[in-house]
């Protein structure tokens, strides 16, 4: 089976401090992985490495079969067109309309204006954003802004979606709506999802694996049921999942 990602022996140092240590992780295409852990565990750093936004201090990262370190210029742009990203803290450009924000990932795509307009219409309908194309992000609720971010991440029909901070700004109903959209894409287009969150059950209702990260180390990688039962015996897992109180 083709792999969406394979991380081998990843270390990441930030300002002289080891923030990720000896991470090994792989995921077949079409599967979903939830990376959970407390604040500061290293989830965002890991997502940035997978996206090729930062190079790791050591180790290799393969994304959709490509060695990220070996990609540059054209090959990196080609790889990025196969990956969508929703990053923490929202990255909608404030002075751009919803439509202009949506079209950003297509800047370098070999597509005509008509094809771009069609892609935007499709994704706006998919996420029920019709009629909002000329709005500025600040005119939208936080939940709608998140939906625009997701639409932007999906506009180029990526095989792999990276979502850092899955439930940020989403209420329970919005989480369920979002999961339904993603489940359809998994069914129809084999979309792979790698999401981060603080809650290990946030994707419940879907089939997914959980990787527990704590202080830069991967403590566990398995099914949600396995992680919950393992945490009954392991203080470190329990603390990473539910807090050290
Ligand atoms: N630019 C930076 N400068 C200094 N330290 C950083 C920087 N980015 C991350 N770190 C540190 O690296 C560690 C991992 O941070 P990271 O943002 O990946 O955690 P996280 O698990 O995503 O946390 P959260 O759930 O709060 O988003 C933390 O100790 C953080 O303080």
Question: 210 C-alpha vs ligand 1 centroid, how far in Å?
Answer: 20
Ordered by start, the domain boundaries in the chain are 3-242
Q: Among residues 91, 105, 195, which one has the least CA distance to residue 154?
A: 105
Q: From ligand 1's centre to the CA of 120, what distance in Å? A: 33
Nearest CA to ligand 1 atom 5: 14
Q: Whose CA is nearest to atom 27 of ligand 1?
A: 39
What's the pLDDT at 244?
63
User: Which residue ranges have their beta carbon within 6 Å of ligand 1?
Assistant: 14-15, 19, 37, 39-45, 88
Nearest CA to ligand 1 atom 29: 40
The per-residue pLDDT for 1 is: 60
Ligand 1 atom 31: the closest Cα is on which residue? 40
Which two structure tokens, joined as six digits, stand for 233? 């015996």
Minimum CA distance residue for ligand 1 atom 26 = 39
pLDDT of residue 245: 54
DSSP 27-66: EETT-EEEEE-STTSSHHHHHHHHTTSS--SEEEEEETTE
Written out in words, the top-level CATH class of the domain with range 3-242 is alpha beta
Phi (first) and psi of residue 242, to 5 degrees: -120, 5
Q: Tell me the best of 23, 41, 47, 217 to mutate to test the pocket of ligand 1, counting ligand atoms within 8 Å of each CB and taking the most.
A: 41
pLDDT in tens, the chain (245 residues): 689 999 999 999 999 999 999 999 999 999 999 999 999 999 999 999 999 999 999 999 999 999 998 888 888 888 988 999 999 876 899 999 999 999 998 987 888 999 999 999 999 999 999 999 999 999 999 889 999 999 999 999 999 999 999 999 899 999 999 999 999 999 999 999 999 999 999 999 899 999 999 999 999 999 999 999 999 899 999 999 987 65
> What is this structure's pTM?
0.94
Identify the three-state secondary structure at position 138. Answer: helix
Q: Measure Cα distances from 193 to 79, 117, 133, 169 in Å.
A: 16, 25, 26, 19
pLDDT at 89: 76
Q: Which of 65, 66, 5, 68 is nearest to 35 (CA)?
A: 5
Radius of gyration of the chain (CA): 18
Give the residue ranges of DSSP H helices in the chain.
43-50, 73-80, 98-103, 113-126, 142-154, 172-189, 224-233, 235-242
| Strand 160-163, strand 17-28: pairing | unpaired
Distance between Cα 7 and ligand 1 center (Å): 19
């Amino acid at each position: 089976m083709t792999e969406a990602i394979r991380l081998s022996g990843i270390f990441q140092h930030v300002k002289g401090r080891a923030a990720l240590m000896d991470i090994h992780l792989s995921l077949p295409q079409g599967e979903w992985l939830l990376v959970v852990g407390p604040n500061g565990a290293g989830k965002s750093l890991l997502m940035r490495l997978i996206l090729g936004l930062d190079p790791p201090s050591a180790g290799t990262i393969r994304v959709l079969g490509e060695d990220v370190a070996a990609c540059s210029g054209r090959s990196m742009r080609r790889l990025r067109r196969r990956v969508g990203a929703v990053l923490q803290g929202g990255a909608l450009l404030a002075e751009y309309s919803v439509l202009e924000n949506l079209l950003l990932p297509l800047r370098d795509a070999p597509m005509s204006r008509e094809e771009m307009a069609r892609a935007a219409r499709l994704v706006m309908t998919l996420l029920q954003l019709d009629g909002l194309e000329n709005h500025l992000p600040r005119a939208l609720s936080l939940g709608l802004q998140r939906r625009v971010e997701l639409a932007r991440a999906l506009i180029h029909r990526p095989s792999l979606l990276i979502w850092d901070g899955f439930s940020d700004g989403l209420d329970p109903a919005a989480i369920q709506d979002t999961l339904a959209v993603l489940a359809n894409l998994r069914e129809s287009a084999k979309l792979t999802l790698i999401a981060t969150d603080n809650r290990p059950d946030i994707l419940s209702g879907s089939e997914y694996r959980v990787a527990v990260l704590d202080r830069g180390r991967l403590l566990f990688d398995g099914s949600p049921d396995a992680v919950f039962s393992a945490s009954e015996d392991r203080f470190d897992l329990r603390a990473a999942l539910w807090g050290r109180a």
